[in-house]
Chain A
Amino acid sequence: MSSPSSQPVLHAPTADAKVGQVTEIDLSCRLPLLVLFLSAATWLVIGWVFQLIASIKFHNPNFLADHAWLTYGRVHPAFTNSFLYGFGLQAGLGVILWLMAQMGNVRLVNGWLVTVGAKVFNLGITVGVIGILAGDSTGFEYLEMPGYASVLVLIGYVFIALWGVVTFHQRLRRQLVAAHWFLLSALFWFPWVYSSANLLLVTFPVRGMAQAVIAWWYAQNFLVLWTALVGLGTLFSLVPRLAGRELNSHYTALFTYWILILFVGWGGIPNPASVPAWIPTVSTVGTVLALLAFIAGPLAICQTLDCSWAAVRRSAPMAFFVFGTICFAVAGFARGGIALLDSSHALHFTWLAPALTALTFYGFFGMVLFGAVYVIVPRLLGVGLPSPKLMRAQLWLSVIGVLLVFVPLAIGGIVQDSKLTDSHVPFIEVTRSSLLFLRASTMGDLLLLVAHILLLANLIGLVVGFYRTRATTTYAELTEDRFKPARARS
């Protein structure tokens, strides 16, 4: 920690609330980002309510079974969409906007239009989730929101992202850093893949299995590649600032960037897919080549921190970041391992796949976003977190929760695989053996729900605290004005 740094040091929020004055840049981000982050945290809570319902159905299939809109096949996509789009995409955008303004040392351009965009975006997701519950899902995994909702989501996204790009363009600090490459690419990447997938699957659907291939391509580009771009971009920007040193090194980060955008997008087609063999084969090659990024990215973070845990112990946001980095590497390698399995291997259809999705999107991306939100929001408002203890509690609940989801599901997947492969084991026996692990993961989901309620409470507490301070000062000023003439007269 002794090395000098040219970059401004971001201090972790502390209880003594002496964060000081809000800079002009943070002020320009305040309203749009608070809208984005609060909505994201709300979707997180809503999503986990759906997830808990879905999870309980594995304990008792009769649970809420008489309502069509609460059947497992609707609640589950309602959960994934609230989580992926409502939380992940939205909070990710917020973090990108703030970093664009910070790195460019420039105010966020047209913040009020970003707020409008956020409203349209949230309307789109609300319509989409209701559509899924009403049975209007498109049927493509991770792209379930019906066409009329995706249009709103896309318009909202473009409205938000556009001002991120303009802010980047007007940056005063012209020097490009590694995070610029990641974050600006991410801003463009999502609307390209999202509109491409929606046009080819929903608006003008292609024929037969080509649909499934495009759906897998989209899922890979959003779930793995977009999250990696935003997550790593955030890490490469915030970790050095929090630690008060330079990114080590810029070139490792750029290498990671090129590997990511060149190879990750090819992966994601499962080997047993009923398509000509070259497609999963090429996809496997892409996934394996992409492993370089899953080494280089975490390595850059590790080297920046001197590969020591000291920084983690000092700041809770840093703990979020480091945990996210570890999950990123583990999930990448596990995915590479699965891609190398033979197509007839039963592991492709087990709970290991959802376990890895949880590890990527929650363990890595979600945790990085949590850390970033805890760094950003107190600075936006100029007040400390109402309770840093709550933040630490959320950290622990999230870490234990996601491990309690990942580990049982991954083990369950492997057990399921070994039993599926032996054709003498009756299928119901296979299901029964995996149910045990599935039920264990409900515990994890419960912890995560509590963690998200804490996050929301912490954010709401911050905003309430801020406005209370503001109201008190305004009241004091007002009353001062009122009593001035009286005082003058006396």
Chain B
Amino acid sequence: MNFGPFIFLAAFFGLACSWFGMVLTPQIQIGRLQQTNTVPAGAVYPVARPGLARQGLSVYRANGCAYCHSQQVSQSGTVCDLVLTDVGTNETALLVALRKIRPAFSEAEDRELMVGLPKTVRQGIPKEEAEAEAKLIGATGAKASSWIIPVGPDIARGWGIRRTVAEDFLFDYPVMPGSQRVGPDLANVGVRRPDMNWQLQHLYAPRIEVKDSPMPPYRFLFEKHRIEHGPSSVALALPPALAPEPGYEILPKPEAVALATYLTSLRANEPLFVSPVSVAEPKTPATNNPANSSVGAEATNAPSSK
């Protein structure tokens, strides 16, 4: 075995194996991914980001935002909610069925359930149970369906309503899923913080918006201008401590606007076949707030708000 080329062949074989498994096959599968449809709405997903947001992605890349922010939401599983959508005509039979399904509740509470549909009957139950109970309600002439609710720490934190999947990143270059959570996950920051002005202020001085934030300020994305013909409409509204001297204002540079546009375009919350979910996203922004209710309770609010 004193034949050098053997070593070359061994190394080539080892590399070819992992290349085949971790480069070629993923490329064939996810590199050729096409747009898909949302379920059940059937809208095309994902839609390419607008030009300004793409420029923003480039600012995000250049300043290495991904070293502190991930864009990946994971979930530990899914549960089901039983949601009443139509009372039907036979209220008495429905009441009997409801008593059977949830004996712990009083009749008054059951009656309350029938107003302002859809409403959640039970939450966080396995799929089989939800479907059996939906059938029981269906027999009374009323209608109920089971809703799919993803659960997990990320989702409880309000970082998303479902796990992120390869489809969410289809048109991005470069894809920066991030490996660190020094800051919060940004996969759905556009849902939580759709306000451009909030984003710009937060970029200029993070501590205005989030007390004690360790995020560095990105003041170099802004410039100080002398007010000439009256204040600009895009000038930042800063607290006195940070405001420039009178006669001046802080304006975002094009990079800052692009970055804020990109951030507000981050919404990985459409229900997809590969990552199903049946609720509208929670209404309250939850970036730095504790989840003020349990997973189930959030889900309860969602259908009734629809």
A428 touches B76 (CB 8 A): no
Q: Which of A57, A189, A196 contacts B23 (CB 8 A)?
A: A196
B166 touches A426 (CB 8 A): no
With contacts A184-B7, A213-B30, A427-B157 taken as known, whether A208 is within 8 angstroms of B166 at the C-beta atoms is: yes
Which segment of B95-103, B127-135, B229-237, B288-296 sits at the interface? B288-296
Which segment of B104-112, B117-125, B136-144, B167-175 sits at the interface? B167-175
A200 touches B23 (CB 8 A): yes
A188 touches B182 (CB 8 A): no
Task: Check A465 for interface membership: any CB of B closer than 8 A.
Answer: no
A344 touches B215 (CB 8 A): no
Q: How far does the alpha carbon of A430 sit from the alpha carbon of B159 in the complex, in Å?
A: 15
Residue of B nearest to A73 (CB): B64
Q: How far does the alpha carbon of A169 sit from the alpha carbon of B219 in the complex, in Å?
A: 57
Q: How far does the alpha carbon of A137 sit from the alpha carbon of B58 in the complex, in Å?
A: 10
A349 touches B10 (CB 8 A): no
CB distance from A399 to the nearest CB of B (A): 26
Which segment of A19-27, A274-282, A385-393, A452-460 sits at the interface? A274-282
Task: Check A62 for interface membership: any CB of B closer than 8 A.
Answer: yes
Q: Which of A135, A176, A416 contacts B62 (CB 8 A)?
A: A135
* CB neighbors of B among A194-212 (8 A): 196, 200-201, 205-212
With contacts A207-B32, A262-B17 taken as known, whether A72 is within 8 angstroms of B67 at the C-beta atoms is: yes
Q: How far does the alpha carbon of A260 sit from the alpha carbon of B184 in the complex, in Å?
A: 36
Q: How far does the alpha carbon of A422 sit from the alpha carbon of B291 in the complex, in Å?
A: 9
Residues of A with C-beta under 8 A to B14? 185, 260-262, 265
CB distance from B55 to the nearest CB of A (A): 13
The interface residues of chain A, by DSSP majority, are classed as: helix
Q: How far does the alpha carbon of A20 sit from the alpha carbon of B17 in the complex, in Å?
A: 48
Residues of A with C-beta under 8 A to B173? 205, 211
Residue of B nearest to A416 (CB): B181
B10 touches A274 (CB 8 A): no
Residues of A with C-beta under 8 A to B32? 207
A193 touches B15 (CB 8 A): yes
Residue of A nearest to B274 (CB): A276
* CB neighbors of B among A203-225 (8 A): 205-214, 216-217, 221
Which segment of B37-45, B205-213, B276-284 sits at the interface? B205-213
Task: Check B74 for interface membership: any CB of A closer than 8 A.
Answer: yes
Task: Check B183 for interface membership: any CB of A closer than 8 A.
Answer: yes
Task: Check A61 for interface membership: any CB of B closer than 8 A.
Answer: yes
Which segment of A63-71, A297-305, A368-376 sits at the interface? A63-71
B175 touches A211 (CB 8 A): yes
Task: Check B72 for interface membership: any CB of A closer than 8 A.
Answer: yes
Q: Which of B153, B183, B213, B218 contacts A420 (CB 8 A)?
A: B153
Residue of A nearest to B185 (CB): A349
A349 touches B19 (CB 8 A): no
Q: How far does the alpha carbon of A174 sit from the alpha carbon of B4 in the complex, in Å?
A: 9
Residues of B with C-beta under 8 A to A74? 62-64
B170 touches A207 (CB 8 A): yes
Q: How far does the alpha carbon of A174 sit from the alpha carbon of B10 in the complex, in Å?
A: 19
B291 touches A424 (CB 8 A): yes
A276 touches B218 (CB 8 A): no
A185 touches B7 (CB 8 A): yes
A346 touches B166 (CB 8 A): no
Looking at chain A, what size class is its interface with the partner chain? 35 or more
Residues of A with C-beta under 8 A to B181? 346, 349-350, 416, 420, 430
Residue of A nearest to B34 (CB): A207
Residue of A nearest to B180 (CB): A349
Task: Check A323 for interface membership: any CB of B closer than 8 A.
Answer: no
A207 touches B216 (CB 8 A): no
B213 touches A428 (CB 8 A): yes
* CB neighbors of B among A254-280 (8 A): 257-258, 260-262, 265-266, 268-270, 272-276, 279
Write the A312-353 contact mask toward B (1 if CB under 8 angstroms, else 0).
000000000000000000000000000000111010111101
Task: Check B238 for interface membership: any CB of A closer than 8 A.
Answer: no
Residues of B with C-beta under 8 A to A205? 173-174
Residues of A with C-beta under 8 A to B247? none
Q: How far does the alpha carbon of A351 sit from the alpha carbon of B68 in the complex, in Å?
A: 10
With contacts A349-B70, A427-B184 taken as known, whether A71 is within 8 angstroms of B64 at the C-beta atoms is: yes
Residues of B with C-beta under 8 A to A424? 290-291
Residue of B nearest to A71 (CB): B63
A71 touches B180 (CB 8 A): no
A274 touches B164 (CB 8 A): yes
Residue of B nearest to A185 (CB): B11
Task: Check B239 for interface membership: any CB of A closer than 8 A.
Answer: no
A344 touches B17 (CB 8 A): no
Q: Which of B31, B75, B153 contacts A210 (CB 8 A)?
A: B31
CB distance from A141 to the nearest CB of B (A): 6
Residue of B nearest to A266 (CB): B18
B68 touches A72 (CB 8 A): yes
Task: Check B200 for interface membership: any CB of A closer than 8 A.
Answer: no
Residues of B with C-beta under 8 A to A479? none
Residue of B nearest to A201 (CB): B174
A346 touches B174 (CB 8 A): no
With contacts A261-B15, A265-B22, A427-B157 taken as known, whether A210 is within 8 angstroms of B30 at the C-beta atoms is: yes
Q: A137-B61, A221-B18, A431-B183 are in contact. List 6 more A-B contacts (CB 8 A).
A: A72-B68, A208-B171, A276-B30, A344-B75, A344-B154, A426-B290
| Residues of chain B having any CB pair with chain A under 8 Å | 1-4, 7-8, 10-15, 17-19, 21-23, 26-27, 29-33, 61-68, 70, 72, 74-76, 152-154, 156-157, 163-184, 206, 210-221, 287-291, 295
| 25 pairs of residues in contact across A and B, judged by CB atoms under 8 Å | A61-B215, A65-B218, A141-B179, A169-B4, A174-B2, A196-B23, A207-B30, A208-B30, A208-B166, A208-B175, A210-B31, A216-B22, A217-B18, A257-B10, A274-B164, A274-B165, A274-B169, A275-B165, A276-B29, A279-B22, A351-B180, A423-B291, A424-B290, A428-B210, A428-B213
